[in-house]
């Protein structure tokens, strides 16, 4: 059964994966979808359309929500076959990775029917409104307030570090709906259209030179009542579940063992050649150790993916998150040190463009141990929920 599925899939992929959507994915070609999608390479759009038509952007979701109803085993085979062909992801989406899975569990039938198919088709770009100036690791201290106004909520407050808020169509947002309840018990989970009057964003510039995230302000924003997910004041459970999906999908996909420019290529670049063994024995050993770490991480990710495919999402995602952050940061440190002075370039024709990319990737990796919950916070989760260590007095 799985052999025939693999054979049919292989045939379909060979026929439908455009050659220019294989291999490393340049940042400007990332297929974020949304209301105003940008496809500098038309094949990226074609690839997305073909994957959508098969339900393969959300392979395990029900067909009525735009999925393909694949079993966990078939989903694994699909991932393997895509990887074998070095297929670029057809869609990058916080909706697919984070919101969709919690809507499947906590959404009403009408919320699922309204939001899941456009997510699977890449028609809505979502951002995540969790962190606030006074609530990061201690997320439950958030103070953005949603006032019950009878037929709608009125939202006031501020979020921070909202990745791509200035480009997103909708935001999934944690808001306080009861100021008097214990802090975890007065939080609700709202879906808000970024076009709503009263929402504004201000980009924040990063050390890597990019501005991928923003401050997001809510000023008397009116939100229809039916955009609340789950029950009023019970959003904390949804918030935690979504973080587990974030840690698994986003951390692993974004920086886990799948660097498009392998370390041995960086070492060759540093020695001025493209082929053959790395000449310097010290570099050779460092690269071998680094690539072994990445390989080990890919097995850990695969194991967590298998659990997730079987409908189990757990604190194991914190292990993946901590390991992926650490291994990617080690990888980036090694890459810039292999490149020597060339690893410290910022711009200019004297630098190889691949080396410039490495410098920025190294700077970007500093955030890996912060985003999606810091490594310290995830180690606390591992101590409590996996190792079951006693809490501090």
Ligand X SMILES: Cc1cc2nc3c(=O)[nH]c(=O)nc-3n(C[C@H](O)[C@H](O)[C@H](O)COP(=O)(O)OP(=O)(O)OC[C@H]3O[C@@H](n4cnc5c(N)ncnc54)[C@H](O)[C@@H]3O)c2cc1C
Residues that bind ligand X (CB under 6 A): 127-131, 136-137, 161-163, 213, 367, 370-371, 373-374, 376-377, 380
150 contacts 116 by C-beta, under 8 angstroms:
no
Q: Which is nearer to ligand X, 62 or 370 (CB)?
A: 370
Q: Give me the least distance between CB of 131 and ligand X, in Å please.
A: 4
Identify which of residues 77 and 173 has a Cβ nearer to ligand X in the complex: 173
Q: Give the single-character DSSP code of 196.
A: S
* Residue 60 or 93 having the CB closest to ligand X: 93
In order, the DSSP letters of 102-144 are: HHHHH--HHHHHHHHHHHHHT---EEEE--BTTBSSSGGG---
Residue 368: CB minimum distance to ligand X, A: 8
Pick the closest to residue 191 from 129, 116, 105, 122 (CA basis). Answer: 129
CB of 201 to ligand X, least distance (A): 12
Q: Which CB sits closer to ligand X, 118 or 373? A: 373
Contacts of 116 (CB under 8 A, 6+ apart): 58, 61, 65, 66, 100, 103, 104, 107
The CA distance from 188 to 333, in Å, is 40
- Nearer of residues 64 and 210 to ligand X, judged by Cβ: 210
CB 352, min distance to ligand X, A: 26
Instruction: In whole angstroms, give the CA distance from residue 130 to residue 144.
Output: 10
- Cα 204 to chain centroid distance, Å, stands at 19
Exposed / middle / buried, residue 36 (Cβ in 10 Å: 0-12, 13-18, 19+): exposed
Q: Between 131 and 317, name the residue whose CB sits nearer to ligand X.
A: 131
The Cβ of residue 235 has, within 10 Å, a number of other Cβ atoms equal to 26
Q: Which residue is nearest to ligand X (CB)?
A: 136
Burial category of 1 from C-beta neighbours within 10 Å (exposed 0-12, middle 13-18, buried 19 and up): exposed
CB-nearer residue toward ligand X: 212 or 230? 212
For the bound state, the minimum distance from the C-beta of residue 206 to ligand X, rounded and expressed in Å, comes to 8
Separation CA 5–CA 313 (nearest Å): 26
- Residue 288's contacts (CB-CB under 8 Å, 6 or more residues apart) are none
H helices of 17-108, in order, are 42-54, 72-84, 94, 100-106
Residue 60 beta carbon to ligand X: minimum distance, rounded to whole angstroms: 24
Residue 134 CB, nearest approach to ligand X (Å) = 8
Residue closer to ligand X (CB basis): 92 or 161: 161
CB of 250 to ligand X, least distance (A): 9
């Amino acid at each position: 059964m799985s052999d025939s599925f693999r054979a049919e899939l292989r045939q379909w992929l060979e026929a439908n994966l455009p050659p220019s959507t294989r291999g490393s994915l340049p940042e400007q070609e990332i297929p974020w979808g949304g209301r105003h999608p940008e496809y500098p390479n038309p094949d990226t759009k074609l690839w997305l359309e073909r994957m959508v038509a098969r339900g393969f952007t959300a392979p395990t979701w029900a067909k009525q929500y735009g999925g393909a109803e694949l079993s966990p085993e078939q989903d694994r085979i699909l991932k393997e076959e895509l990887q074998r062909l070095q297929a670029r992801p057809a869609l990058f989406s916080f909706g697919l990775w984070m919101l969709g899975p919690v809507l499947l569990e906590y959404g009403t039938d009408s919320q699922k029917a309204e939001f899941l198919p456009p997510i699977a088709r890449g028609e809505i770009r979502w951002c995540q409104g969790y962190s606030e100036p006074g609530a990061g690791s201690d997320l439950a201290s958030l103070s953005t307030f949603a006032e019950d106004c009878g037929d709608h909520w009125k939202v006031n407050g501020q979020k921070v570090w909202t990745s791509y808020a200035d480009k997103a169509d909708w935001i999934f947002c944690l808001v306080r709906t009861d100021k008097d309840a214990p802090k975890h018990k007065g939080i609700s989970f709202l879906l808000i259209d970024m076009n709503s009057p009263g929402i504004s964003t201000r980009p924040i510039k990063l050390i890597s030179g990019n501005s991928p995230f923003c401050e997001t302000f809510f000023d008397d924003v009116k939100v229809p009542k039916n955009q609340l997910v789950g029950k009023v004041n019970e959003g904390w459970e949804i918030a935690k579940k979504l973080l587990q999906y974030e840690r698994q999908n986003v951390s692993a996909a974004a920086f886990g063992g799948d660097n498009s420019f392998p370390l041995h290529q960086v070492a060759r670049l540093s020695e001025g050649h493209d082929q053959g063994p790395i000449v310097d024995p010290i570099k050779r050993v460092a690269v071998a150790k680094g690539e072994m770490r990445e390989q080990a991480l890919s097995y850990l990710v695969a194991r967590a993916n298998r659990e997730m495919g079987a409908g189990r999402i757990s604190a194991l995602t914190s292990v993946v998150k901590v390991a992926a952050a650490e291994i990617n940061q080690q990888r980036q440190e090694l890459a810039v040190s292999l490149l020597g002075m060339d690893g410290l370039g910022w711009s200019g024709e004297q630098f190889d463009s691949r080396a410039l990319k490495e410098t920025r990737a190294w700077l970007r990796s500093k955030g890996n141990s912060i985003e999606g919950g810091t490594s310290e916070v995830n180690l606390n989760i591992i101590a409590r929920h996996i190792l079951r260590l006693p809490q501090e007095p």
